[in-house]
Amino acid sequence: MDVILIEPTFPSNQREFARALHSVGARVIGIGERPKEALDDGLRHWLHHYEQVSNVCDPRALEERVRWIMGRAKPQRLEATIEAHIKTAAEVRARCGIPGTSEETALLCRDKPAMKEALRRAGIPCAASIGARTADEVRDFAQRVGYPLILKPRDGAGASSTYRVDDEGELESAMRRMGLDRGASIAVEEFIEGHEGFFDTLTIGGRVVHEFACHYYPNVLEAMRTRWISPQFITTNQVEAAPGYEEVRVMGRRVIAEFGIETSATHMEWFFGPKGLKFSEIGCRPPGVGAWDLYSAANEMDLYREWAMAVVHGRPAQTPSRRYSAGIIALRPDRDGVISHYDGLSEFEHSYSEHVIAAHFPPPGTPTQPVSAGYKANAWVQMKHPSFDTLRAMLDAVGRTVQVRAR
């Protein structure tokens, strides 16, 4: 099977999708923005052919390259795994007659207000929300629903450019920052109190063949705004065994069916609190921040290869062991600047090295990245343990022990 893979070079784990497709017998044709000379040795081996395009998010440019490829090969799938590429890939798929995620599904999984409307029509509990183009629309919503509110881009991912507002003054300030007075369109949502987590699947023909549940500590918005916190997310090895996850699993399957998702990875966010379980949003693609690396390590499997088996052969090949829980902790510099040194590294290595999956400690002299840049922006550690509670305690201890100093 010929498979077109959008942007196999960036971010760094994109190469794993190329590797996996090649490993299950696909002829992988890459389309990306970097020149062919930038491909590493692995990608040169795994890719049958590579085409450069000025912008993979430009439907016309992408379609032109896809049609050029179709004149020389017979691509049966066109795959994108990055949020910003999903909608464009779906448009080009439809124009070129290549199977895969539809334009309608891609829109529902990308446009937050349209997503919430579809969820409410299906009776799936979620936050009250609107799509707004004017400040008056937002003010009217605030008057009806009350504070706090969440303001975010209609097509954003994660907590990027997302604001919590607790009163009228914060609302007016956030609307200005988001450019509502300059023609922007935004999503406005009721704030849902509760614990936040995510539920990820791999589906084949609309059927869930692999599933994973994770917990955030603390919730994402707080984690991405507070320097002193060393935030974590942890995947449980009890998603199929503990009865508390059944409601999440059922809800996830309802959303997959309602949105017409066929063979794809999915990433779904949820909250559980005083108002019960509430669905937050869905992406028709894998999660970010190396979550699949955690799932693979925790379950002694290659989830990238499982995705490739789904795409190329329409079936899974492995069963997750559920032997471990696995998690990541982000270690923030104590200030912006450049990293000067680390405290506690020796103690960390002595106490926890047998549980480490991977770790990243940028060398002294490396410029720091802002707190809002995410879990892997600066130093981080991934770990695993058979017990979820023990793992969480170990990650907490790493956060207290390892200090990233900057000047």
Q: Tell me, what CATH number does 298's domain have?
A: 3.30.470.20
CA dihedral 64, 69, 75, 78 (to 10 degrees): -40
Task: Please indicate, yes or no, if residue 111 is contained in any of the structural domains.
Answer: no
Average pLDDT of the segment spanning 154-174: 84
State the pLDDT at residue 156: 66
Q: Tell me, what CATH number does 183's domain have?
A: 3.30.1490.20
Task: Please indicate, yes or no, if residue 77 is contained in any of the structural domains.
Answer: yes
Task: Please indicate, yes or no, if residue 115 is contained in any of the structural domains.
Answer: no
Q: Are residues 357 and 223 in the same domain?
A: yes
| Number of domains present in the structure of the chain | 3
CA distance 320 to 325: 12
Provide the β-strand partners of residue 359.
381
Q: Are residues 179 and 214 in the same domain?
A: no
* pLDDT above 70 for 303: yes
End-to-end CA distance of the chain: 53
DSSP string for residues in 67-118: HHHHTTS-EEEEE--SHHHHHHHHHHHHHHT--SS-HHHHHHTT-HHHHHHH
Please indicate, yes or no, whether the overall pTM of this predicted structure exceeds 0.85. Answer: yes
Strand locations in 232-338 (E): 232-235, 264-273, 276-283, 325-331
Q: Tell me, what CATH number does 89's domain have?
A: 3.40.50.20
Q: Which of 190, 213, 238 is the last residue of a domain?
A: 190
Task: Please indicate, yes or no, if residue 114 is contained in any of the structural domains.
Answer: no
Q: What's the pLDDT tens digit per position in 323-351?
A: 999 999 999 999 999 999 999 999 999 99
CA distance 394 to 361: 18
Q: What's the pLDDT tens digit per position in 236-292?
A: 999 999 999 999 999 999 999 999 999 999 999 999 999 999 999 999 999 999 999
Tokens (6 digits) for 202:
């791999």
Q: Are residues 200 and 177 in the same domain?
A: no
State the pLDDT at residue 307: 98
Q: What's the pLDDT tens digit per position in 203-222?
A: 999 999 999 999 999 999 88
Residue 134: give the domain boundaries: 128-190
* pLDDT above 80 for 157: no
Average pLDDT of the segment spanning 135-154: 94
Task: Please indicate, yes or no, if residue 352 is contained in any of the structural domains.
Answer: yes
Q: Which of 171, 190, 209 is the last residue of a domain?
A: 190
